[in-house]
A and B are shown apart, each in its own frame.
Chain A
Amino acid sequence: MNIISEYVAPWALAKEKVPIHFVWEEEPSLKKIIITIPDDFLVDELLNAKDCVQKGSKIMIPIECLETPNYFGITVCSKNIYDQPMILREIKVQFFSADKTLIERTLNAKIVRPFIEIVKAPKKVIVTDKTDIKKLFNLSITHSGFGSAEITLKALSHNRTISKVDSLYYEILRELIEDGMEALKTGYEKADSYSDDISINEEEIHKIASDLIIKLEKHEIPPDMKDEVLQDIEELLKDDKSKEKLLQTIYSKVRRLVVASVLHFLDKYPHEDIELSFGNIKTTFQTDIKQLIMHLNYNDSMGNKYQQLEKMIEVEDNRTNKKKVFDVPINIEWNTEKFVLNQVD
C-alpha cells in the first residue's frame, strides 16, 4: 500500500485544533482503518468519513464508511492544559486488509505553551531618603516556552491591590472621562494649552476620537478604573448630543492621546511573545506596607489560563518623613530562553 501524503500539524496550544490527514493510492485490499488517539485528547471532527464508531480512544473506519477510498482527515485537540512547556502525544493510524496490517503509522502531536518564571525579585527592599525610587523595584522575568503570553501583573498588600497601571494613555482616559462629565454638565470645552509642531488632520482626529469611544464602549479600561465612572460614560454614549460633547473633549486632548497611545503600544509589547495586558505598572507606597505580594497571571492565545506566580517582598521604610506617599514603578527585565521544537516542518 502506498501512502501519498500524511500530515499532523507540527505544533498546537492546549485545546487548539490539530488537523491530521492521510491520502493514499487506492488499495483494493484495504478493509478498515483504526485510529488510536491519546486518552487526554478528543476528536473534533472526522473528514471524508461517515457513521464511524468511537470506542474509548479508538476510532474504527470500515472502508465502506469512507466517502472516497483514498483519503481521510481527522481533527483532534487536547482536553487539558499541561504543566510542561511541551508534551508529545502519539496518534496511531493502522490500515488493515481482511487478514493483516497493511501499514501502521505513528504521528506525534506537540502541545506547547508559554512558560513564565520570575527568576529574580528582591526579597527585601529598603527605602531611605536617598533612594532613587525609579531604581528601587527590579524584577527579572523569563519566558522559556512557546507562544505569546498575555500577562497581568499586580502588587498586593494586606490582600488589597495597591498597584495601578503606569500608563499615560490610561491617565488621559481618566482625565477624559472626568472632563467629559464636566463638559456635559457645564457645556464648556477645555482647550489644550500647549501648542507645537504636530499637525494631524481633521479626519485623523475624528478617527482617533471614534476609536477611543469604541474602546470605552467595549469596556477596554484597566481594572483599577472605577465602575461608576464607566456607567456614567455609558449613559453619555447613549445620547447623540452628549456623545458629540465627549468627542469635542477628546478632540482637545487628541495630540496628547496620539503620543500616549504610541508609548502605550511600546509598553504593551516589551519583548518577543510578551503582551502586558495594560502596560507597565507602578505601586503606591504607604507607611503601613511591610510586605508586598506580586501576582503574575498569564494566558496563551487560546485563552488558556496558567498557574498564578507569586513573589513575596518585604519592605523596610527608613525615611525621615514616612507620611509621604509615593508611586514606585516596577522595572522588569525580560528574557527569552530559546525554545526549540525538535522537528519543524
Chain B
Amino acid sequence: MVNSDTKKGTISMISNIQKILDSLKPFTPDVKSLNVDYLARSSSAKVLIHVPFKKREMFNRIEIPSDQGYKIDEVFDGESLDKLRLPCSLEENKWIIDTKKLPSSEKYFITLKGEVSKNNLDELVRVHSPENPNHEDELDKYWIHSAIKNMGTLEKIYSALSIERVAVSVNVGVNRSFSSSIPSKVRDWLEARAEMEFIIDSGDRQKVFREWIKYRSARRNVGKVSTRDILDISNRLLSKEIFLIFIEVDDPYRIEGITSIEQSSRVPDSIKVNIRTDLNYNRPAAKGNLIFKKKDFAAKITDEFDKIIKRE
C-alpha cells in the first residue's frame, strides 16, 4: 500500500553514505549520527573510525570518494577530542588523509558534510497546516503538524538520525485586519475622491461643484492622509520586524521569519510565516499551534492611521 518509490530520496542519501563507508572499511567505520538540516538543505554524518598502528603499515592512506556529494568537514582525535589540523589532499576524485600524519590515538571522528536536494527532503518529512484558522475573540489559531515519513531506513543503519530545522510555513490571513481597521472617515475620503475624478470627466459644472464641496469636507476629516500612506502602513506593518510581534508559536516550534512581500501597491491577503522544529527518534512527529494576535494587530493599524490623520 505504501509505495516504495517514495523511498527514492532516502535511498540515494543512503547509497551515497554507503559508498563512503565502503571505502573506509579497513578502518571499521561506525556512523554515530546523521543530521539533516532541512532549512539549509544539508546533511552531516559523524563517523567513528579505528586506525590502530598495525593498520598504518598496511594502509597508509584513508581515502574518501569526493563524488558522492559529501566532503570532509572536520576530523577529531577520538581520545583527546581535539580537533586536528590535517592536510587533506584531493587526488583523482578522492579525499586523502596520510595515516602517518595522525597522532597516537587509535580512534578518530570524521564529520562529513553534504547537500540534500529538495526532493530528498520532501521524502523525509511531511508538514501540514490548515487553510483556515479557528477564530477566537482576540486571536486566530492555526494548527501545525510535522512528522518523519520514513524513520527506519536511515535509523536502522545508523544509530541516531535527527532532522533539524524542519520547515513549515503558515499563511496567516491579514486582509480582514486591514479592511476592518481602516477608519471609516478614510474610506469616505477615498470614495469622495473617486467620485470627484469621475464627475470632473463628465464636464457638468454644477455636479463638479457639489462633489468638490463633499470632497473638501471629507478631506478635512482625514488631515494629511494620502493614498500612499495607506500602502506605506501596510508595507511597514507587514515587515518582519513588526508583524512577528503579533505571532506566537507553541513548543517545539520556533519562528524562523516571514517570506517578505515586495514593496507593494496592494495590501496582501496573507503573510507566509516560516516556522521550524527538530525531529528525531524520540520525537518523530511534532504538534503545536500558531497564534495570530489579530485584535492587537488591528489596533496597531488603527493607531497608525490616527497618527497620520493628526499630524501637522
Which of A's residues lie within 8 Å of B, judged by CB? 5, 7, 9-13, 16-17, 19, 21, 23, 43, 45-54, 59, 66-68, 70-71, 73, 75, 146-148, 168, 193-194, 197-200, 204, 207-208, 211, 255-256, 258-263, 265-266, 268-273, 275, 300-302, 339, 341, 344-345
Contact B187 A266 (CB under 8 A): yes
Q: Is the CB of A258 within 8 A of B131?
A: no
Interface string of B113-145 (1 = CB under 8 A from A): 000000000000010101110111000010101
Once A193-B201, A207-B265 are accepted as A-B contacts, the answer to whether A265 and B178 lie under 8 Å apart by CB is yes
With A211-B266, A263-B194, A266-B182 known to touch, is A273 a contact of B126 (CB < 8 Å)? no
Q: Are B179 and A46 in contact (CB under 8 A)?
A: no
| B226 in the interface (beta carbon within 8 A) | yes
Docked pose: A208 CA to B264 CA in angstroms:
8
Is the C-beta of B267 less than 8 angstroms from some C-beta in chain A? yes
A5-B285, A259-B193, A260-B194 in contact; A198/B151 too (CB < 8 A)?
A: no
* Chain B nearest CB, measured from A105 CB (Å): 15
Can you give 24 contacting A-B residue pairs, CB < 8 Å?
Answer: A7-B287, A13-B132, A17-B128, A21-B145, A47-B150, A48-B148, A48-B284, A49-B2, A51-B1, A68-B281, A70-B281, A146-B134, A168-B194, A193-B200, A198-B227, A208-B265, A255-B227, A258-B227, A260-B194, A265-B175, A266-B187, A272-B135, A272-B180, A344-B141
- Out of A17, A23, A147, name the residue touching B285 (CB < 8 Å): A23
Measured CB to CB, the nearest residue on chain B to A194 is: B200
The residue among A67, A208, A268 with the most chain B CB atoms within 10 A of its own CB is A67
Known: A48-B148, A148-B173, A301-B131. A259 touches B284 (CB 8 A): no
Inter-subunit contact B152/A67 (CB<8 Å)? yes
Q: How many A-B residue pairs have CB under 8 A?
A: 176
Q: Are B2 and A9 in contact (CB under 8 A)?
A: no
Residues of B within 8 A of A341 (CB): 134
Bound-complex Cα distance A12 to B143 (A): 10
The verdict on B147 contacting chain A, using a C-beta distance below 8 Å, is yes
* Complex contact A48–B265 (CB within 8 A): no
Residue with the highest number of chain B CB atoms closer than 10 Å, among A59, A200, A269, A345? A269
Contacting residues, chain A, for B131 (C-beta < 8 A): 13, 16, 147-148, 300-302
Structural contact, A67 and B153, CB atoms closer than 8 A: yes
* 6 pairs of A and B residues whose beta carbons are closest in the complex: A67-B152, A301-B131, A147-B132, A21-B285, A208-B265, A269-B179
Residue numbers in A under 8 Å from B126 (CB-CB) = 19, 45, 47, 73, 75
Q: Is the CB of B155 within 8 A of A68?
A: yes
- The residues in B between 254 and 301 inclusive whose CB is less than 8 angstroms from any CB of A are 262-267, 281, 283-285, 287, 289
**B4: interface (CB < 8 Å):** yes
Contact status A265-B267, CB under 8 Å:
yes
Q: Are B227 and A262 touching (Cβ within 8 A)?
A: yes
Alpha-carbon gap, A277 to B61, bound state (A): 69
4 further contact pairs, Cβ within 8 A, besides A10-B143, A266-B187: A19-B145, A73-B284, A208-B265, A344-B141
Give the Cβ gap from B150 to chain A, nearest Cβ, in Å: 6
B191 within 8 A of A: yes
CB distance from A86 to the nearest CB of B (A): 12
B168 to chain A, nearest CB (A): 11
Complex: how many Å from CA A23 to CA B281?
10
